[in-house]
């Protein structure tokens, strides 16, 4: 599995901490920015990471901004992306099992570092269960391909 990481200035510190989780899990990743805490636009990084996930260059993406909301909105504008804003472990598991998400969004000012680490571990370690959920995700994809 190969992960694309992205953040704005508000998510930078949490992104740096989450790299240790990926290292611990021996998951390959690239940090696509930002590379400091100077104010920048979350949408630039959300779109960059999401396009690379949608193209298949990366298997999944992780995006962090202040609340995670902006990243999630921007990410979901990219065709082929199913991004979810996750603030708890239960949602981290279900967003993979039921929604087959390929981009995880976290709020660096909302979610504490220890919970964020657990969210990432659960999200990366959970597979899509298919079944009735395959049909539901398929309907979303069909609509996306129509517009």
Q: Given phi > 0 = left and psi -120 to 50 = alpha, else beta, which region is 105?
A: beta
pLDDT tens profile 80-137: 999 999 999 999 999 999 999 999 999 999 999 999 999 999 999 999 999 999 999 9
Catalytic residue IDs:
65, 98
Residue 25 has pLDDT above 80, yes or no: yes
**What pLDDT, on the 0 to 100 scale, is given for residue 33?**
97
**What pLDDT, on the 0 to 100 scale, is given for residue 109?**
98
Domain that holds residue 54: 2-146
31 pLDDT tier (thresholds 50, 70, 90):
very high
Number of domains in the chain: 1
pTM listed for this prediction: 0.97
Structure tokens at 95: 């967003």
The H helix count followed by the E strand count for the chain is: 6, 5
Assess contact for 64 and 21: CB atoms under 8 A. no
**What pLDDT, on the 0 to 100 scale, is given for residue 147?**
75
CA distance 3 to 60: 5
Residue 41 has pLDDT above 90, yes or no: yes
CATH number of the domain at 73, please.
Answer: 3.40.1400.10
pLDDT tens profile 43-87: 999 999 999 999 999 999 999 999 999 999 999 999 999 999 999
């Amino acid at each position: 599995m190969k992960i694309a990481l992205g953040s704005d200035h508000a998510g930078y510190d949490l992104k740096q901490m989450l790299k240790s989780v990926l290292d611990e899990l021996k998951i390959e990743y690239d940090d696509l920015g930002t590379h400091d805490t100077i104010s920048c636009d979350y949408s630039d990084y959300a779109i960059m990471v999401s396009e690379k996930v949608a193209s298949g260059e990366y298997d999944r993406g992780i995006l962090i901004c202040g609340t995670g909301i902006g990243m999630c909105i921007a990410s979901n504008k990219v065709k082929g992306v199913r991004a979810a804003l996750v603030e708890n472990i239960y949602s981290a598991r279900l967003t993979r099992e039921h929604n087959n998400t390929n981009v995880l969004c976290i709020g660096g000012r909302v979610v504490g570092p220890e919970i964020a680490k657990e969210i990432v571990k659960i999200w990366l370690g959970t597979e899509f269960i298919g079944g009735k959920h395959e049909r539901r995700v398929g309907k979303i994809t069909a609509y996306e391909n129509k517009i």
